[in-house]
Structure 1
Amino acid sequence: MTIDLRIAGGVVVTPSGPTTADLLVHDGRIAGLVAPDVAVDSDRTIDATGRLVLPGMVDVHVHTREPGYEHKDDILTTTRQAAAGGVTTIFGMPNLNPPTVDVETLTDVFERYGSTSLVDWNHNPAPTKFDEIVPMAEMGIRAFKIYMVVDTGRTYPHPAGTGIHDHGHLLEIMDRIAGTGVRFIVHPHDQALMDYIEGRYLARGENTPQGYASAYAEREGVIWDTAIDVVLRLAEASGCPVHIAHIQTRRSIEAVRRAKAAGVDVTCEVNHWAPFLSTWKDVETLGPYALSYWVPDDNRAAVWEGMRDGTIDIASSDHAPHTREEKEIGWTEMWSAHTGTPGIQYYYELMLDAVNRGELTLERAVDMVARIPAEKFGLAGTKGTLEVGADADVVIADMQHEWTITNDDVLSKTGWTPYDGRTISTRIERTIVRGRDVYADGAVVGEPGYGKLAAAPAELAAEAAGTEGN
C-alpha cells in the first residue's frame, strides 16, 4: 500500500514521550510510526530533520466574534491565526450577537464554521435556556459556557443572555448538564463583591488601567476565589464535570487541588496572558492592551507551579480580539474599554519557548495544549495525540529559531498583538489538519470550509455507520 504522507527525520512527541521516528499519515489519520530506515511508499514526504513533530493544539476557549462582532475578527480570520499558531481544533464561545443559547443560534454558528473554518471546530453555547440544554448537547457539542459576571460601564464582552449569577440557577444548570456527558465551562466571578470593590475605585476617579487592574486583583483576588469555591462545591453536589476558566490566584489553585484530591471532576485552564502578559510593568506600559487581568507576582508564581505540577490541566488561549479604538479609550476610561487580548496565533510558540527556558517540561507543555484538552472534552482517540488511529493533526516546530514577534505578522483583523517586540526561541513551521497542510513555509494555505465538527469517537462511529447504511 502507498500511504499519503511521510513526515521524516523528526523527533515525534508521542504519549510515551519523544522518539526519533517517521510519522505515517493515510486518509487523514495517523497510520503508523516507523524507524527512519524502514521503506514505505508514500505520495509525499516532508523532511522534519532537526525539528519536533508535535500534536496540534486543541484550544477550548476561543472568541471568534462571529456573528455580530465581525469588525474584530471572524471565523475565517480566527482560524487563519489558529493555523499559523499550530492550533488544529478550536472551541468557540457564546458571547456573540445573537448569543448562542439555543438550537437555532447553535445551528447558525455550526453552519458558519462549516463554510469558512480552516481547522476543526466545536462550540460552547450558554445553557441559560434550560429546556435547550439537552437538545444542544445532542448536536455534538463538547461543553457549555456561562459567565458569572455583568459588565460595568459597557455591554460587551459579556452580553445579556450568557450570564448566570443566582446560585440556585447555577445548581439547576449543573443538574441538567450532568446527564449530558459534556463539560461545563464557568467564567468565575463574584459580582456582588465586584460591585462593591470597583465602585470604590470609580468613586475615587481611578478609571485607569492601573485602577482596573488593581480592582480585579484586590485582596489577593477575592472575587475569583469566592466564585470558584462556590462552583467547586456545586460541582461536588451535582456531579457535573466543570472547567474553570481564567485560573489566576494562589487560593483558587489550592482550592482546585483540594477538589481534585476529593474526587471532584474539575479541570482548569491558564490563558496566555497569565504566565506571559500579566506583570505590573505590562499594565503600566501597555495599559488597556495588556488587560485581560493583572496577576500579582505571588499569584503568577502559583500559576507556574500549578502548570508544572498538573493542577492546572489545560492551556487555552482565551483569544479575545478588540480593535485599537475599543482599546484606546481605556487609557482614560478603562471600565469602558473592551477587555481581552488576541492570543491564539502565538500561545503554542510561547509555551514551547517556556520549555526552552526551563520553565516547563516538553511533556507538560504538550499535555496542556493537546492531550488533556482532547481527553477532558471528549475527543480522546481522535484529537490531541500522535498515535495510530488519531486524526493526523500535526505541528512541526523548530525549537532553535530565534525571532521577534511584530504587529506586521498579525493575521487578526485588529492588526496588533500585545507581544509586539518580544523575542522568542521557537517557531512553528507547519500545521497539518487531518493530513492536509493548513500552514506551511510562512503562509496560511488551508481552504475555508475544510474544518469539520470535532466530535467524540462514538459520534463519529455512529455517523460512519449511518453513511455506510445509505
Structure 2
Amino acid sequence: MPQYKTRISGGDVMVRGQLVPADVLIDGSSIVGILRPGEQADAAEVIDATGKWVLPGIIDTHAHTREPGYTHKEDFHTASRAAAVGGITTMIDMPNVEPPTDTLEQFEVKRDLAAAKSIIDWGHWAAGTDPVQVKKMAAAGATGFKIFQVSGAYPHDPRLAVNDEGRLIQVFRTISEVGLPCLLHPFNQSLFEQLSTEAFAAGKPPNWQTFSEVYTTEAIWHTAVNTLVNLQALTDVRLQVVHTHSRGSLQLLREAKERGQRVTASVDPKYYHLTRDDLARLKGRACPGGYITEDPERMAAIWQALADGTIDMIDSDHAPHTLEEIEVLDHDAWNAAMGSPQYDWQYSITLTDVSEGVLSLRRAVELLSEAPARLLGIFPRKGALLPGSDADLVLVDPRRQVVLTDEGLQTKVGWTPYIGRQVTGVVELTMLRGTTIAKDRQVLGEAGYGQYLAGVAQ
C-alpha cells in the first residue's frame, strides 16, 4: 500500500524564494516533504508536473463576493469557482453587501452563507465603523476590519464611510486593541466632490471617462494617505492601505515603514494595466483605470514600489457587476456601479508581468501569497510550500499563451476587463489542502469544502 496520498513529480517548485527541481509529497491536507528528483516515496496518486511550475496558491485579501444582497452579480459559490480556476485558494471578503457586515448578527449570517457555499478557504473583513461592534465581531472570529473613506453610489456605501478624523481615530484605537488588521480604502471625499463640480462646470460629461480622470487624481489619494499615516502613528493599528497607486502615497508609506510604523500596502492590477485605450475600447468595463498608465512617473513609482517592498501585496479587488449596470457609466458614472470581475485569470495577469521581465517570479509569489499570509498571521501554514504547510498550490504552464475572452468564465457576470489581452502563464491545476479543486479550467471542488480563517491577533 502506498505510504502517502499524492506526489507532484517532475516540476520546478517555489521553495523559500527559489524555483528548484523537486517533487512535492502530500499526505492528508499537508505537504510532508519536498523531495529531490528521484528520491523514493510511494504515493497513491502521482501528478506529472514536467515542464510546469509548482507555486503557492494565491491568498486574496480583497474580494467582493456580493453576498448577501447582490447575488445577481456573484455569490460565495460562483466567486470561489472563479477563484479556483484563477489559482486562488483563499479569499477574504469585504463588508459592503446588503445588509452591510457591520454588526455581530450580520457577520454571523454572512459566515454561515459562505460556509455552505465556498469551495476555497475564506474569511471576512467586517466593517470598522462602530467600536462596540468591532469588539463583538473580533471576539466572534472576524478576520479583520475594513474602512472606506469613499462615499457615494454602491459599492461605496455611505453607511460604511468613515471620513471624520475624530471618529476614525476612535475606531483605529479599538481595532488596535483587538490586534487584528485594518484595511482602509483611502480617499479625500470632499476634494473629489469639489473636483467633480469643477469638471461639470467646465462642460465635461458625467461619463466613465470624466469619472476615471477625476477619481484617480493624485491629490485625492495622497492627502488621504497623509492623514492615515499620522493617525496610525498615534494608535499603532495594523494598517493596510489598499489601492495604493498614487506617487505621493507610495512615498508616504515608504517613509512610514522606514520609521517602523505598522503599515502595509496593496494594489490591484487594473490600476497599472488598464490604459486609456482600454477605456476608449471597453468604456465602463475599464473604469476607473486608464489615466494612471498615462503618467510615466506614476507608473514608474508603482513598479518601483512593487519591486522594493513598499507595496507588500497584489490583491484582486474582484468586484463583479452586470454589464447592464456597467453601461450606466456611459452617461451617469457618479451614480453607477463601479468595479470589475478579476478572479478567472488572476494568476495569469501577474505571471504575464513575470514573462515580460517587469517582475521576478520570486517577488510575484511574495506579493500574491507570502505577504498576504503574513498579514493574516497564517504564514507558513499558508503562503508557502514547505513541510507542514497546507497543500494549497497551483501547477502553471509558464509558456502557455491565451488571448482572453468572455467565454467559459466562472464568474456569474460572465465578462472580463482584460478581453482581447494575451496572457503568458496559465494555471492548469489548483489544489487546496491536498484536494484538487480545479483542473484544466474545470471546477472540481465542492460547495462547503472551504474552511473559515478566523482573525489572528498580532
The interval holding the TM-score normalised by the smaller chain is over 0.9
**Which runs of no fewer than 5 residues in structure 1 stay unpaired?**
460-470
Q: How does 1:416-455 map to 2 (within 5 A)?
A: 416-455=415-454
AA in 2 matched with 1:191: Q
1:190 aligned residue:
188
Given that 1:101 and 1:161 are in contact with CA atoms closer than 8 Å, whether structure 2 keeps it comes out as no
Distance (Å, rounded) in 2 between the aligned partners of 1:282 and 1:441: 28
1:95–1:196 distance in 2 versus 1, CA, 3 Å: same
| Match among 247, 259, 262 for residue 250 of structure 1 | 247
**Aligned Cα RMSD in Å?**
1.5
Distance apart, 1:43 and its partner CA = 1.2
Deviations 1:64-110 (A, max 9, x none): 00000001111111000000000000000000000001111111111
Correspondence 1:301 to 2:300: yes
Q: Which moved more, 1:135-144 or 1:80-89?
A: 135-144
Given that 2:181 and 2:376 are in contact with CA atoms closer than 8 Å, whether structure 1 keeps it comes out as yes
AA in 2 matched with 1:317: S
2:25 aligned residue:
24
Given that 2:266 and 2:314 are in contact with CA atoms closer than 8 Å, whether structure 1 keeps it comes out as yes
Distance (Å, rounded) in 1 between the aligned partners of 2:143 and 2:412: 28
AA in 2 matched with 1:427: V
Q: How does 1:47-86 map to 2 (within 5 A)?
A: 47-86=48-87
Q: How does 1:391-406 map to 2 (within 5 A)?
A: 391-406=390-405
Q: Alignment identity in percent?
A: 36
Structure 1's consecutive aligned runs of 4 or more residues displaced over 3 angstroms after TM superposition are: 455-459
Deviations 1:36-73 (A, max 9, x none): 21111211110001100000000000000000000111
Q: Which moved more, 1:338-347 or 1:288-297?
A: 288-297
Distance (Å, rounded) in 2 between the aligned partners of 1:282 and 1:299: 18
- Equivalent residue of 1:195, what SS? helix
Correspondence 1:370 to 2:378: no
Q: How does 1:315-330 map to 2 (within 5 A)?
A: 315-330=314-329
Distance (Å, rounded) in 2 between the aligned partners of 1:253 and 1:442: 36
Given that 1:182 and 1:378 are in contact with CA atoms closer than 8 Å, whether structure 2 keeps it comes out as no
2:166 aligned residue:
168
Given that 2:243 and 2:268 are in contact with CA atoms closer than 8 Å, whether structure 1 keeps it comes out as yes
TM-score by length of 1: 0.94
Distance (Å, rounded) in 1 between the aligned partners of 2:200 and 2:392: 48
Distance (Å, rounded) in 1 between the aligned partners of 2:16 and 2:141: 26
AA in 2 matched with 1:234: L
1:94 aligned residue:
95
2:267 aligned residue:
270
Distance apart, 1:386 and its partner CA = 0.5
AA in 1 matched with 2:386: E
Distance (Å, rounded) in 1 between the aligned partners of 2:68 and 2:143: 20
- Equivalent residue of 2:160, what SS? coil
Distance apart, 1:139 and its partner CA = 2.5
Q: Which moved more, 1:339-348 or 1:228-237?
A: 339-348
Given that 1:10 and 1:21 are in contact with CA atoms closer than 8 Å, whether structure 2 keeps it comes out as yes
- Equivalent residue of 1:214, what SS? helix
TM-score by length of 2: 0.96
2:111 aligned residue:
110
Report how many aligned residue pairs link the two structures: 453
- Equivalent residue of 2:344, what SS? coil
Q: How does 1:340-419 map to 2 (within 5 A)?
A: 340-419=339-418
Given that 2:429 and 2:438 are in contact with CA atoms closer than 8 Å, whether structure 1 keeps it comes out as yes
AA in 1 matched with 2:47: I
Distance (Å, rounded) in 2 between the aligned partners of 1:57 and 1:329: 32
Given that 1:3 and 1:26 are in contact with CA atoms closer than 8 Å, whether structure 2 keeps it comes out as yes
**Which runs of no fewer than 5 residues in structure 2 stay unpaired?**
none
Correspondence 1:287 to 2:283: yes
Given that 1:56 and 1:394 are in contact with CA atoms closer than 8 Å, whether structure 2 keeps it comes out as yes
Distance (Å, rounded) in 2 between the aligned partners of 1:3 and 1:456: 32
- Equivalent residue of 2:343, what SS? coil
Q: How does 1:88-167 map to 2 (within 5 A)?
A: 88-151=89-152, 154=153, 156-167=154-165
- Equivalent residue of 1:428, what SS? strand
- Equivalent residue of 1:50, what SS? coil
Given that 1:329 and 1:337 are in contact with CA atoms closer than 8 Å, whether structure 2 keeps it comes out as yes
- Equivalent residue of 1:402, what SS? strand
Distance (Å, rounded) in 2 between the aligned partners of 1:232 and 1:99: 27
1:260 aligned residue:
257
AA in 2 matched with 1:90: M
- Equivalent residue of 1:193, what SS? helix
Given that 1:55 and 1:366 are in contact with CA atoms closer than 8 Å, whether structure 2 keeps it comes out as yes
Distance (Å, rounded) in 1 between the aligned partners of 2:287 and 2:440: 32
Deviations 1:439-461 (A, max 9, x none): 012301000000001246899xx
Q: Which moved more, 1:291-300 or 1:230-239?
A: 291-300
Q: How does 1:201-280 map to 2 (within 5 A)?
A: 201-203=199-201, 204-218=203-217, 221-277=218-274, 279-280=275-276
Deviations 1:131-177 (A, max 9, x none): 111221122333200100111xx3x1122321101101110111101
Given that 1:382 and 1:457 are in contact with CA atoms closer than 8 Å, whether structure 2 keeps it comes out as no
